[in-house]
A and B are shown apart, each in its own frame.
Chain A
Amino acid sequence: MDGSASMERWVDVCALADVPVRGARRIRIFGHEVAVFRTSNDAVYALDNQCPHKGGPLSEGIVHDEGVTCPLHGLIMHLPTGRALGAETGCVKTYGVRIEDKRVSVRVGI
């Protein structure tokens, strides 16, 4: 223990097969809701599951290219950066993702 407040670690969240292609799953990590996305090119991203607009669950949106369209009002969030695309503004926290042995791990701070 080095006592750092920004200590980070990888946590195993699910199997890759648990996340549908062009879809998402949500998972509570240390009491915090995170959405894990998988695109048509099999890239996996993890973002806070809360649209910056009105808090919509991004995990329920349609996944296309490298974006997800929020199911409540249609904001499009860019999965790699967590920024809103187009004319909208807003940003959600993103997490590092690692795939090993067909398992998905997410890097979170404790």
Chain B
Amino acid sequence: MTRKSLVVIGNGMAPGRVLETLIEVAPDAYDITIFNAESRVNYNRIMLSPVLSGEQTFDDIIIHGDGWYVEHGITLYKGHKVVAIDRAAKTVTSEHGETVSYDKLLIATGSNPFIIPLPGHDLPGVLTYRDLDDVNAMMIAARSGGRAVVIGGGLLGLEAAAGLLAQGMDVTVLHIMPTLMERQLDPSAGYLLQKELAGRGIDIRTSANTKEILGGSKVEGVLLDDGTEIAADIIVMAVGIRPNHWLAKEAGLDVGRGIKVDGTMQTSDPDIYSVGECVEFEGNCYGLVAPLYEQARVCGLTLAGERSHAFVHTETSTKLKVTGVNLFSGGDFAEADGREEIVFRDAARGVYKRLVLEEDRLVGAVLYGDTADGAWFFQQIREGAAIAPDARDTLIFGPTFMGGAPLDPMAAVAALPDDSEICGCNGISKGKILAAIDKEGLKDLEGVRTCTKASSSCGSCTGLVESLLAFKLGAAFAAPAKKTVCGCTDLAHDEVRRLIVSLSLKSIPAVMQELGWKTSCGCAKCRPALNFYLLASWPVEYVDDGQSRFINERVHANIQKDGTYSVVPRAWGGMTTAAELRAIADVIDKFQIPAVKYTGGQRLDMLGVRKQDLPGVWADLNAAGMVSGHAYGKSLRTVKTCVGTEWCRFGTQDSTGLGIKLEKMMWGSWTPHKVKLGVSGCPRNCAEATCKDIGVICVDSGYELHFGGAAGMEIKGTEILCKVASEGEALEYCAALLQLYREQGFYLERIYRWSARVGLDKVREQIVGDDGNRAALYARFLHAQSFAQTDPWAERASGRVDAHEFRELAPVEG
């Protein structure tokens, strides 16, 4: 039997879910072809805000990587916009002229951002907030700082504003209504939100009507109705979306606001289906993920031949994805005759809760500051069950108080009925999760995510899912033990790293204040970690805090057991000269240094130098052209090489030359832990590159790149990253790897531990599998290096930096 042909126009989240459902139920029913106007794979569009704020990368939000399409035999045309549907011939044609015929066609063209046709709306610098290209454009604009004006104070506008603020821009939000997010929030919650965002530094102007966008060759500002002018370097329009239905309309399908569909997602042509934001169903258009995934599920089942499923309109709930803002709304909370409300305020905690009842049913809920009971309230709204008169008094306190149940999260999830929704994004109920835990023998969060998809989209229900696991499995469920940075905080390393970026924290006191440190100035564990995270996150602005560095990094030498220091100058790639050796010999004599030793990293170590002699030793080494070898730091240490083609009869490439280039590029960079490199000129591997943090093995046809080796407390051979053909590529790949480690590693975590934690394949994907990402990492590394490559010895030998460290106080004599 020949398979039917299914053509999909659009590759967003909704059609992605249609295909997942279809492949699960009827894997062999269709040959599938996808046309995607965007030149990329399917990603989680609702998580663009964390990408903009820097909390996540594009890689983190990919739903289907390239491999998924290959695995399922799907043809994906990236960057192919479909320009015509011929319903008579049953074909679609892309703008590049590709024509494919279909038996069934799925239109999922999504929506377009609405651009208010103000004067000046087409100037360069007017952006929208819709896809990754928009996010990239904003991130590029944010690099040069300046002011962004966001037009629209709804969900998308505020997420964009918070993201741009996190990227370091000054941000003004213009909202035409008197309060923010008026479609999801009542005025009180809108006020609390405005206060919170204003407190973070966003300039919010409500009842502000934009009259004109100002500028000559590019955007320069906006003019409001009341005559106010606001200067702006970019303008983001986030005033709403319009279903993108023109292709369907041109093809003669029934369209209203969107493409009209019935409950099986069929359009007016029985061979054409449609899902997503381009759809109109019973007069409603949808923009939130939960109903779109439900549409997708129904459509996938219908395409698979199960025609008994139907999409029905349901209430939706909303959460704002701005870190640190807890906000939930669901149902209908407008004031109306016959409606009553229950309100709870706790000004000190910034908590506001409002429930709206009609007759004796809950119809709407707005929660601000404490949203833990959101899922439960939303469940009551959807069920429309009567609230008993005696339950009304405690209703606002949520399920934990209903019937006097104890106040703990386990009891709260135990109290939920089986059909209550846990994961709003994917429409997964408590019952489904419990059944999956039972049936599949699931033991942890990852298992639940894989089998049910719960908690796999926006992640805000993760806590609930963990509580369910604990409820079902009891002691058998080991909640992931959270490893905090130290006793000064309840936060783990990854949380601290993320929050430093998303909250734009740029000093140690700011981190401790904003993240609620429990001690007044930290400890010897957290302060060096914070100093590194801040340095790695803000290479331009952050001022290194010497007092938060371990003594070795503070005085740029290694403390020994008797309080003296050791000094190791750099020997690039392990090479040295007679002049350097002579200078080292002179220093040893002049300062009566008691011991000299060859290190394992092909350098010379002078041991037993008195602290007050360090600047003099450094000055003499500097004069002979030598700089600090950073043998004391969580930083680039040695690059060990063999002699390669220069001398060796087996050498395949210039391994010494590459080692020197790597060292010259990487020296001076601070890293989560020490980093050692090795470059061997042939697979005999005389430089022992396969037990280094980063290693290169030269072969005839190029360079094998390795990472994640160790030869210390643990012995571990490296993993292969990839093979590249040219020396230039070897340099770029190694630098990108080092930068990824600098951005993701926990303090005191060597490369082999970091890569095991995040996953070796994940590392490879981000370096090898994504050229754009690798180029960006490389560029960020070189940018950071432009501020880092100053010889710390020269600074101190000159007496300009930390002179007090090396100058002895005059002794008090008797």
**Which residues of A does B touch, CB under 8 Å?**
11-14, 18, 20-23, 25-31, 39-41, 54, 56-57, 60-65, 67, 69, 71-72, 74, 76, 110
Whether A30 contacts B814 by the Cβ 8 Å rule is yes
Q: How far is the CA of A56 from the CA of B548 in the complex (A)?
A: 19
Whether A65 contacts B804 by the Cβ 8 Å rule is no
Chain B residues with Cβ below 8 Å from A60 are: 551, 555, 559, 563
Whether B521 contacts A57 by the Cβ 8 Å rule is no
Q: How far is the CA of A30 from the CA of B811 in the complex (A)?
A: 8
Whether A62 contacts B528 by the Cβ 8 Å rule is yes
Whether B804 contacts A25 by the Cβ 8 Å rule is yes
Chain A residues with Cβ below 8 Å from B814 are: 30-31, 110
**Chain A residue at minimal CB-CB distance from B549:** A62
12 residue pairs of the A-B complex, CB under 8 angstroms, read A27-B809, A27-B812, A28-B811, A29-B812, A31-B811, A39-B521, A54-B561, A62-B528, A64-B519, A64-B524, A65-B520, A65-B522
**Chain B residue at minimal CB-CB distance from A106:** B812
Q: How far is the CA of A67 from the CA of B808 in the complex (A)?
A: 23
**Chain A residue at minimal CB-CB distance from B522:** A64
Is B471 interfacial (CB 8 A cutoff)? Answer: no
Q: Which of B519, B548, B808 contacts A62 (CB 8 A)?
A: B548
Q: Which 5 A-B pairs have the closest CB atoms?
A: A69-B524, A28-B811, A22-B547, A60-B551, A62-B524
Chain A residues with Cβ below 8 Å from B527 are: 62, 64
Q: Which of A13, A29, A61 contacts B551 (CB 8 A)?
A: A61
Chain A residues with Cβ below 8 Å from B335 are: none
**Which residues of B does A touch, CB under 8 Å?**
519-524, 527-528, 547-552, 555, 559, 561, 563, 804, 808-809, 811-814
Known interface pairs A20-B547, A62-B550, A71-B550; A41-B520 also in contact (CB < 8 Å): yes
Known interface pairs A20-B804, A71-B550; A61-B809 also in contact (CB < 8 Å): no
Q: How far is the CA of A95 from the CA of B787 in the complex (A)?
A: 43
Inter-chain pairs besides A22-B521, A57-B559, A64-B519, 5 sampled, C-beta below 8 Å: A60-B555, A60-B559, A62-B548, A69-B523, A72-B561
Tell me the minimal C-beta distance from A37 to chain B in angstroms: 11
Whether B520 contacts A40 by the Cβ 8 Å rule is yes
**Chain A residue at minimal CB-CB distance from B528:** A62
Q: How far is the CA of A54 from the CA of B561 in the complex (A)?
A: 8
Whether B809 contacts A25 by the Cβ 8 Å rule is yes
Q: Which of A13, A39, A69 contacts B809 (CB 8 A)?
A: A13
**Chain A residue at minimal CB-CB distance from B564:** A57
Whether A29 contacts B811 by the Cβ 8 Å rule is yes
Whether B812 contacts A23 by the Cβ 8 Å rule is no
Chain A residues with Cβ below 8 Å from B521 are: 22, 39-40, 64-65
Q: How far is the CA of A72 from the CA of B560 in the complex (A)?
A: 8
Whether B809 contacts A26 by the Cβ 8 Å rule is yes
Q: How far is the CA of A102 from the CA of B531 in the complex (A)?
A: 30
Chain B residues with Cβ below 8 Å from A39 are: 521
Q: Which of B523, B547, B551 contacts A65 (CB 8 A)?
A: B523
Tell me the minimal C-beta distance from A76 to chain B in angstroms: 7
Whether B524 contacts A74 by the Cβ 8 Å rule is yes
Q: Which of A31, A56, A63, A71 contacts B547 (CB 8 A)?
A: A63
Known interface pairs A64-B524, A65-B520, A76-B524; A30-B559 also in contact (CB < 8 Å): no
Chain A residues with Cβ below 8 Å from B520 are: 40-41, 65
Known interface pairs A61-B551, A64-B524, A76-B524; A14-B519 also in contact (CB < 8 Å): no
Whether A18 contacts B519 by the Cβ 8 Å rule is no
Q: How far is the CA of A83 from the CA of B656 in the complex (A)?
A: 52
Q: Which of A18, A29, A41, A63 contacts B804 (CB 8 A)?
A: A18
Whether A18 contacts B809 by the Cβ 8 Å rule is yes
Chain A residues with Cβ below 8 Å from B522 are: 64-65
Tell me the minimal C-beta distance from B157 to chain A in angstroms: 41
Whether A30 contacts B813 by the Cβ 8 Å rule is yes
Q: How far is the CA of A12 from the CA of B559 in the complex (A)?
A: 29
Q: Which of B559, B808, B812 contacts A71 (CB 8 A)?
A: B559
Q: How far is the CA of A76 from the CA of B525 in the complex (A)?
A: 11
Q: How far is the CA of A11 from the CA of B810 in the complex (A)?
A: 12
Q: How far is the CA of A39 from the CA of B521 in the complex (A)?
A: 9
Q: Which of A13, A20, A57, A61 contacts B812 (CB 8 A)?
A: A13
Chain B residues with Cβ below 8 Å from A74 are: 524
Chain B residues with Cβ below 8 Å from A11 are: 812
Tell me the minimal C-beta distance from B747 to chain A in angstroms: 14
Known interface pairs A28-B811, A61-B551; A56-B524 also in contact (CB < 8 Å): no
Tell me the minimal C-beta distance from B613 to chain A in angstroms: 15
**Chain A residue at minimal CB-CB distance from B811:** A28
Tell me the minimal C-beta distance from B800 to chain A in angstroms: 15
Whether B547 contacts A21 by the Cβ 8 Å rule is yes
Q: How far is the CA of A27 from the CA of B519 in the complex (A)?
A: 29
Q: How far is the CA of A69 from the CA of B550 in the complex (A)?
A: 10
Whether B563 contacts A57 by the Cβ 8 Å rule is yes
Tell me the minimal C-beta distance from B810 to chain A in angstroms: 8
**Chain B residue at minimal CB-CB distance from A40:** B521
Q: How far is the CA of A63 from the CA of B559 in the complex (A)?
A: 17
Q: Which of A14, A41, A62, A76 has the largest number of chain B CB atoms within 10 A?
A: A62
Q: How far is the CA of A33 from the CA of B519 in the complex (A)?
A: 30
Chain A residues with Cβ below 8 Å from B563 are: 56-57, 60
**Chain B residue at minimal CB-CB distance from A19:** B804
Whether B548 contacts A14 by the Cβ 8 Å rule is no
Q: How far is the CA of A23 from the CA of B2 in the complex (A)?
A: 79
Chain B residues with Cβ below 8 Å from A54 are: 561
Chain A residues with Cβ below 8 Å from B555 are: 60
Q: How far is the CA of A20 from the CA of B547 in the complex (A)?
A: 8
**Chain A residue at minimal CB-CB distance from B563:** A57
Tell me the minimal C-beta distance from B404 to chain A in angstroms: 43
Known interface pairs A13-B809, A13-B812, A60-B559; A23-B523 also in contact (CB < 8 Å): no
Q: How far is the CA of A13 from the CA of B522 in the complex (A)?
A: 28
Q: How far is the CA of A22 from the CA of B551 in the complex (A)?
A: 13
Chain B residues with Cβ below 8 Å from A28 are: 811-812
**Chain A residue at minimal CB-CB distance from B552:** A71
Whether A14 contacts B809 by the Cβ 8 Å rule is yes
**Chain B residue at minimal CB-CB distance from A63:** B547
Q: How far is the CA of A12 from the CA of B813 in the complex (A)?
A: 11
Tell me the minimal C-beta distance from B486 to chain A in angstroms: 10
Chain B residues with Cβ below 8 Å from A62 are: 523-524, 527-528, 547-551
Chain A residues with Cβ below 8 Å from B547 are: 20-23, 62-63
Q: How far is the CA of A39 from the CA of B550 in the complex (A)?
A: 16
Q: How far is the CA of A110 from the CA of B812 in the complex (A)?
A: 12
Q: Which of A22, A25, A40, A61 has the largest number of chain B CB atoms within 10 A?
A: A22
Q: How far is the CA of A30 from the CA of B238 in the complex (A)?
A: 73
Chain B residues with Cβ below 8 Å from A12 are: 812
Tell me the minimal C-beta distance from A48 to chain B in angstroms: 13
Whether A64 contacts B804 by the Cβ 8 Å rule is no
Chain A residues with Cβ below 8 Å from B528 are: 62
Q: How far is the CA of A17 from the CA of B699 in the complex (A)?
A: 59
Whether B519 contacts A65 by the Cβ 8 Å rule is yes
Q: How far is the CA of A22 from the CA of B521 in the complex (A)?
A: 9
Q: How far is the CA of A62 from the CA of B551 in the complex (A)?
A: 7
Chain B residues with Cβ below 8 Å from A56 are: 563
Q: How far is the CA of A28 from the CA of B812 in the complex (A)?
A: 6
Tell me the minimal C-beta distance from B276 to chain A in angstroms: 54
Tell me the minimal C-beta distance from B551 to chain A in angstroms: 4
**Chain B residue at minimal CB-CB distance from A25:** B809
Tell me the minimal C-beta distance from A62 to chain B in angstroms: 4
**Chain B residue at minimal CB-CB distance from A54:** B561
**Chain A residue at minimal CB-CB distance from B545:** A22
Tell me the minimal C-beta distance from B519 to chain A in angstroms: 5
**Chain B residue at minimal CB-CB distance from A71:** B551
Whether A27 contacts B811 by the Cβ 8 Å rule is yes
**Chain B residue at minimal CB-CB distance from A56:** B563
Chain B residues with Cβ below 8 Å from A25 are: 804, 809
Tell me the minimal C-beta distance from B743 to chain A in angstroms: 25
